[in-house]
C-alpha cells in the first residue's frame, strides 16, 4: 500500500478522469485547492501570520463579492459555500476574530441568497459535497499540503464511501418493523434480512478499522480546522454521520441521553437526513424498533433468528469499539483515564454518562469519551436483555 493512502484500490475508486473534467465553477476553486493549503503550512511553520493571510485574501474576496452567480446553479452555490467555509475554517486556530470581515460578510450574504446552505463547515459540506466533487472531477478540498493531503483526502473519502453500508443496514432493520405492505415480505424472511444487515455492518467496520493507519501527527495537522469555537457552531464531526443514527433508532428506542444528543445535533446532520431521523425517532419512541417489536410479539424470531439478531448487535458493537479504539489512538488526550474502556467495563457501568461534560469536547462539542462509551453501553445492554430477558433495560 502507498504510505500516503488509507484505502487500497478496491475501497478507493478512481475519480472521474475524462479529458475535460466537469470542474466546479466556484471562483475560489483554484485558491482553495492550491493556495490555501500552502498558506496554512506557512502559518504552521511561522513564515506567515494570520494578519498577512487575511490581507492576501482581501482582493480575492472582493472579486467574488462582485459576482452575482445564477441563483438556480445549486452545485456552484454549494461548492462556493464549501470554499468560503474552508477559508473561514483556516482561521479556526486563531479564533473567528482573525478572519477578514469581507469573508464573514460574503458568507452571510450567500446564506441569505441560498437559505438551504449551511453557514458553518458541516459534515455534509466537508464529507458529502467535497467527496462527490472529487469523484466527479478529481478536485478535493483539504487543509493539508504535501503527503498529508492524500491522507486527509482519504479520511473524508472513507466516511463518504462507508456510509452506504450503514444506511443499508438501517433500512434492513427498519423493514422488519414497519407495517406497510411493501415491507411485509421482509417480515416473513427475517433471517435473510438479518444476515444481510450483519454483512453490511462488517463491511462498515472494515472501513473504520483502516483509520488506525492514520498517524496522530497527520490527523492533528488538519483536525484544528474542523473545530468549532466557544459560543459558535459545533464542528464538522463524524458524530453527525446520519445513517448510524438511523441504524440505532431502527434497533432500539432512544434513551434519555441519546435523545439529548439528537436534540442538539439535528441541525448538524446533512439536510436530507434531518426529516428522516426525526420520523424514525418518533416511530422508534412509539415502538417501531426491533427490540420492542420482539417484546410485543409483532416480530417473531426462532432460536436461530435470535442468534442472528445477536450477531447483528455484535457487529454494531464491533463498529462502535473500533471507532472507540481509533479515537483513542488519534486523541489520547481525551482518554486520560485509560481504564473502563473494555466491553466488560462499559457493560458494568451504572448507566450512561453526561455527554455535555465540558471536559475533552470533541469536534462535535460533546464529550468524546462519553458519546462513544454510551453508544457501546446501549448496545451491550440490549444484547444482555436479548440473551437473558429482563436482565437490563435496553434504554438505560
Q: Is there a contact between 281 and 170 (Cβ–Cβ < 8 Å)?
A: no
C-alpha cell at 33: 485547492
Greatest CA separation found in the chain? 69
Structure confidence by residue, pLDDT tens digits, 97-117: 899 999 999 999 889 888 899
CA separation for the pair 311, 305 (Å, rounded):
10
pLDDT at res. 63: 84
Model confidence at 330: pLDDT above 60: yes
Does 396 score more than 70 pLDDT?
A: no
Q: State the DSSP H helix or E strand holding residue 100, giving kind and residue range, or none if neither.
A: none
Q: What DSSP state is assigned to residue 391?
A: S
pLDDT digits (tens, 9 = 90+) for 266-313: 999 999 999 999 999 999 999 999 999 999 999 999 999 999 999 999
The rounded distance, in Å, linking the Cα atoms of 183 and 298 is 14
**Is 378 exposed, middle or buried, given 0-12, 13-18 or 19+ CB atoms closer than 10 A?**
buried
How far from 393 is each of 207, 254, 262, CA to CA, in Å? 31, 12, 20
Q: What are 361's strand-pairing partners? A: 367
pLDDT of residue 250: 97
Asked if 293 contacts 306 with a C-beta cutoff of 8 angstroms, the reply is: no
Q: How many Cβ atoms sit within 10 Å of the Cβ of residue 229? A: 14
Give the per-residue pLDDT at 6: 64
* Averaged pLDDT, 184-205: 86
Query: Are 329 and 216 contacting, i.e. CB atoms less than 8 angstroms apart?
Result: yes
Cα separation of 345 and 329, whole Å?
19
Q: DSSP labels for 224-293?
A: GGG---TTSPPP--GGG-HHHHHHHHHHSPPPHHHHHHHHHHGGGS-TTHHHHHHHHHHHHHTT-SHHHH
With contact defined as beta carbons under 8 Å apart, do 79 and 33 qualify?
Answer: no
Q: Among 282, 257, 258, 278, which Cα is nearest to 267's? A: 278
Cell numbers representing residue 294 in the block: 420482539
Report residue 208's pLDDT band, with 50, 70 and 90 as the boundaries: confident
Q: What's the whole-number mean pLDDT along residues 184-213?
A: 86
Is residue 337 scored above 90 in pLDDT?
no
3-state class (DSSP) for residue 122: coil
Rounded CA separation 96/302 (Å): 58
- Predicted confidence band of residue 391 (pLDDT cuts 50, 70, 90): low
Q: Mean pLDDT across the chain, nearest whole number?
A: 88
- What are 81-92's pLDDT values in tens digits? 999 999 999 999
Identify the helix (H) or strand (E) that includes residue 292: helix 290-295
For residue 24, what is its C-alpha cell? 466546479
9 pLDDT higher than 80? no
Amino acid at each position: 500500500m502507498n504510505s500516503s493512502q488509507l484505502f487500497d484500490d478496491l475501497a478507493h475508486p478512481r475519480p472521474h478522469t475524462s479529458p475535460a473534467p466537469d470542474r466546479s465553477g466556484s471562483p475560489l476553486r483554484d485558491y482553495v485547492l492550491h493556495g490555501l493549503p500552502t498558506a496554512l503550512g506557512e502559518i504552521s511553520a511561522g513564515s506567515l501570520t494570520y494578519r498577512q493571510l487575511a490581507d492576501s485574501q482581501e482582493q480575492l474576496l472582493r472579486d467574488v463579492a462582485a459576482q452575482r452567480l445564477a441563483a438556480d446553479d445549486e452545485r456552484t452555490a454549494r461548492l462556493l459555500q464549501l470554499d468560503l467555509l474552508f477559508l473561514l475554517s483556516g482561521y479556526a486556530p486563531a479564533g473567528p476574530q482573525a478572519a477578514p470581515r469581507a469573508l464573514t460578510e460574503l458568507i452571510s450574504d450567500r446564506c441569505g441568497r441560498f437559505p438551504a446552505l449551511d453557514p458553518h463547515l458541516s459534515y455534509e459540506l466537508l464529507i458529502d459535497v467535497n467527496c462527490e466533487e472529487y469523484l466527479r472531477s478529481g478536485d478535493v478540498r483539504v487543509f493539508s499540503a504535501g503527503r498529508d493531503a492524500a491522507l486527509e483526502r482519504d479520511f473524508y473519502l472513507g466516511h463518504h464511501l462507508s456510509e452506504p453500508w450503514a444506511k443499508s443496514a438501517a433500512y434492513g432493520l427498519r423493514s422488519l418493523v414497519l407495517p406497510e405492505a411493501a415491507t411485509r415480505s421482509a417480515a416473513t424472511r427475517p433471517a435473510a434480512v438479518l444476515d444481510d444487515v450483519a454483512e453490511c455492518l462488517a463491511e462498515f467496520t472494515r472501513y473504520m478499522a483502516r483509520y488506525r493507519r492514520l498517524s496522530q501527527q497527520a490527523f492533528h495537522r488538519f483536525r484544528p480546522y474542523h473545530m468549532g469555537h466557544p459560543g459558535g457552531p459545533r464542528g464538522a464531526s463524524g458524530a453527525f454521520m446520519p445513517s448510524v443514527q438511523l441504524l440505532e433508532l431502527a434497533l432500539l428506542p432512544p434513551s434519555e441521553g441519546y435523545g439529548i444528543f439528537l436534540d442538539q445535533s439535528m441541525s448538524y446532520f446533512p439536510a436530507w437526513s434531518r426529516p428522516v431521523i426525526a420520523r424514525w425517532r418518533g416511530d422508534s419512541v412509539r415502538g417501531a424498533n426491533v427490540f420492542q417489536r420482539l417484546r410485543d410479539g409483532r416480530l417473531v424470531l426462532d432460536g436461530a433468528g435470535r442468534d442472528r439478531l445477536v450477531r447483528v448487535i455484535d457487529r454494531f458493537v464491533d463498529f462502535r469499539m473500533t471507532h472507540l479504539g481509533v479515537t483513542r489512538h488519534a486523541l489520547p488526550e481525551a482518554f486520560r483515564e485509560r481504564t473502563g474502556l473494555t466491553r466488560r467495563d462499559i457493560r458494568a457501568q451504572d448507566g450512561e454518562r453526561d455527554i455535555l461534560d465540558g471536559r475533552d469536547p470533541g469536534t462535535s462539542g460533546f464529550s468524546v469519551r462519553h458519546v462513544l462509551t454510551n453508544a457501546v453501553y446501549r448496545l451491550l445492554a440490549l444484547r444482555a436483555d436479548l440473551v437473558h430477558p429482563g436482565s437490563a433495560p435496553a434504554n438505560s
